Amino acid sequence: MQGYIYPNEYELQWSLLIVLYPYLTGLVAGAFILASLERVFNVKEVQPTYRLALLTALAFLIVAPLPLQAHLGHPERSYQIFLTPNTKSAMAMFGFVYAWYLMVVLLLEIWLDYRKDMVQWAQASTGWRRWLYYGLTLGATDLSPRALRFDESAGRWITIIGIPSAFLLHGYVGFIFGSVKANPWWSSVLMPVVFLFSAIVSGIALVLVLYMLTTMFRWQKIDMPCLDKLAQFLFYALVVDASLESLDFIHRLYEAEESIEILGQLVENRLFISLIVLQVLIGTLIPLIALGTTSPALRKGGMFRTPPDLRQLIYLTSAVFVQIGIFSIRWNVVIGGQLFSKSLRGLTVYKVELLGIEGLGMTIALLVLPFAILWAIAKILPPWPESEAVRPAAPQTA
């Protein structure tokens, strides 16, 4: 054939912002599931991170739809999905899933958990802080044992409802990619499950990093039983996630469809750094080995006697590496699935823009924004036991 080159699809429709979107929603789902371990499954060791995990999920959930809004040509029209809902569109129905998770699940659970503290802070504070906390209580200032028992019971039930809601929030993203039958890189029944477990891994790793950094910056002592339990859950989740990824890869090799050749070229020529180096080596194998050497069984057996300071360094490094690996997974799925022609002939190239609405600068800004929001929320609703953000008013002396 003369006058044509492959691939003909030289322009990628989904850019770096669409890579960021499933990464942010995964952090939300993973952080909420970590918070449910203490409330629902009674894992007392992770109790110091319960509120931090909830506020982290809220901060990242607020920013999660912004990459989609920036990607749209007319983001001001997005409200129309609520006015004219299309039940047959998975993308359109996300707006309702997002509203349910934000308004009914996450905000309500945070309000029930903080209501007692907000009433006490309103009574102990003065000026604008007093009115702020009183407004946040919505007028519910009853601190009787019966009211507090209701808060605890209702919060527990909302957490139970929130677990499948968190699965739905992030699982539908994998459902969208997995249901694209025309794309052999995406079409897989394991795609929603892989997205879910990678979300759990990323959420636990993020809360672990935030807990360590915020504790050190406040000059407080790190709760090592809590940190060990977080690392233990991170290790288990990472094992399951790596197993599912391997199973998906083996299944593709076993099928050996006509697309296997172009997928091999894709991995070898376009995704070698992001897939083999960043995702497999740095994001999976190194954290698995590092966390495995600090497991309680090996420490009790005397095989690896790691002091607390060394374990803290291992946990922090492994969690950072895991974040690199999870972001690489999102990159490999979103960008990698668009790098080969629909005719399965030839590969194209995606070049990241530095500036622009979908460039690297916007992506970095949207990555930093949740941390700024989390900092602001923590100033109002401190997630740690010793409140440094809210100080009771000093009593006046004659």
Structural domain boundaries in the chain = 16-380
Average pLDDT over residues 372-392: 75
Average pLDDT over residues 46-66: 90
Give the pLDDT of residue 300: 57
pLDDT of 255 higher than 70: no
pLDDT of 127 higher than 60: yes
User: What mean pLDDT is reported for the chain?
Assistant: 82
More confident residue, 385 or 270: 270
Contact predicate 201/238, CB 8 Å: yes
Contacts of 7 (CB under 8 A, 6+ apart): 340, 341, 342, 343, 345, 346, 347, 348
Contact predicate 212/222, CB 8 Å: yes
Give the three-class secondary structure for 340.
strand
Kindly report the backbone phi and psi dihedral angles of residue 340, in degrees, each rounded to the nearest multiple of 5, phi listed first: -125, 155
pLDDT (tens digit per residue) in 145-192: 898 898 888 888 888 888 888 777 777 777 777 666 666 677 777 788
pLDDT of 330 higher than 80: yes
pLDDT of 212 higher than 60: yes
% pLDDT > 90, the chain: 22
Average pLDDT over residues 108-115: 90
Average pLDDT over residues 210-237: 90
Average pLDDT over residues 38-67: 88
- Would you place residue 254 in the very low, low, confident or very high pLDDT band (cuts 50, 70, 90)? confident
